[in-house]
Structures are given as C-alpha cells and as structure tokens.
Structure 1
Amino acid sequence: MAAAGLAGLGPGEAAAAAQALALPAESFGNDLTKADDRIYEEFRQTFRELRVDVLDPEELKSEPAKAKWRPFCLAFEGLVEDFNFGTLLRLDSRREYSEENTIFATRIQFFAIEIARNREGCNDHVYGRARETAAQEGKSG
C-alpha cells in the first residue's frame, strides 16, 4: 500500500523521496518543534485511539481520515513552519526508512506521529539500536 502511495508522487516529490530514502537514519534528528507539547496534546485529543507504532495508511489517506486530519493540520498554520508541506513518514516505527515502510504525509502529521512515538516509547528500540551501532563502530574504529 505504501509503495502505491509513493508511486503516485510527482517528479519533484519522487526526487525528494528518493533523496530522503538514500540518507542514513542517523540523518533524521530527534529535535522536532518548539510546539511539541501543544502538537502532542491536540493530536491525542483528536486521535485518541490511533496506533502510532504501526500506522494503517487508511488512517491517513482515506476520505474519512482526511476529513478528521484537515482541521487538525490547519490548527497549526502560522505556528509550525511549512506545516502542510509533504514529507516521508515511516509506517512501522520499528523499521528503518525504506520504500515499503514509507508513506507521504504532511509535515504536521509527521511531527504529531513522531512526537507521539517518542513520548509513548515507540522509538525506544530505534534509539537503543543506534547506540549499539555507535558503540560497535567505536570499538572497531
């Protein structure tokens, strides 16, 4: 399903997606926004039951989902720079960025979901794996 979403990208979006997918995971920092608390609070008020560890693309792209996401996203216009620009979002928080594990979302959707993942412990394994890799590289270097 994610691949179908990526296949629907225009040439410029596809080039940006390809460039982002070529970067190592360490290139994506953990600092998100100065409005993290507000984003998280409003996200969980609006999307109480949304699983963030493994996303269902329908929860982002179906017509009912879009109708729910639209007012949420617009609430951050003027607060979060480029809130409605497109970006890549991992579907499964336990896996790396890849074509199969990526969906195109708005920047505010990315922030909301990644902030929730960080606060709810979904990214702990990624952090642990990065620390292990860094430790191994330190021993061999």
Structure 2
Amino acid sequence: ISLKPGAETLGITLADVSRQLRQAYYGEEVQRLPRDGEDVRVMVRLPEAARENLDSLGSLRVRTVDGREIPVTEVANFTFAPGINRIQRRDRTRSVAVYAEVKGEGGRGEIMEDMEANFWPNFQKRFPDVTRGEAGGF
C-alpha cells in the first residue's frame, strides 16, 4: 500500500489506511460479553464473502480526519506480490521453508558455498535473530 499524492492534505496517513483496512478484514473488537465464565469478543468486520474477494478492496471507503468517507482508491495505490500466506511454527518458533531446484551449471554444493560466502553474512547482519537449517539434496 502506498499513498497517492494529496492523501495527506486530506489528513490521511499510511497508518490510517492500514489500520482501517485491518479493521475491515481482520475486525475490530467492539465489546466483550461474559459467557460460561469466559469473555466472548464481539468483532465487527466485513462479511466473509467480501474478505475472501480482493475485488471488494477497491470498493472500501476510508474515513478522513473531518469524518468524511472516501473511496480508498482515491488516496492509496495497491501493489500485489507473492508472500507468506500463513505463519508456520516449529517448536513454537515461526518458521519458513524455502525450496529451490538447481538448474543449469553448478551443483548444490557450489550454490551452497556461494550462499555461505555471499548471502548469509549480510542476511544475518540485517536479521540477527533468524536461525537457519538445511535439508535436502534429493
């Protein structure tokens, strides 16, 4: 998501757009009700059919600082790219599996040596809490 020129003159920030989209898709807790000794959260969000269809994104409206509602497409651009669609965990730690197929010249060993020398040092500087493991060689 990026803001279009002029969005900030309406008092809309990227954080505002992000928050309002999150509320629409994930929901906003509006109340907690006691039930059988536990609190039940009451959430307000888009209907499931609208949340499953990205076409509904363009029809959403965002609220300006003066209370007006305008189409989100007037103030924001959307770029879609592949990404992780769910969080996987292994031993209660987030994990991501990355797969690759070796094609052309160079074998697995040569590629792994190159990654060890040229990729991992910079990656670990940027993300020091990330650990890695390797498997494969099929």
- In the superposition, the TM-score normalised over structure 2's length comes to 0.26
User: Which protein has the bigger helix share?
Assistant: 1
Structure with greater strand share of residues:
2
Task: Report which of the two structures shows the higher radius of gyration computed on alpha carbons.
Answer: 2
Larger RCO: 1 or 2 (CA < 8 Å, sep 6+) = 1
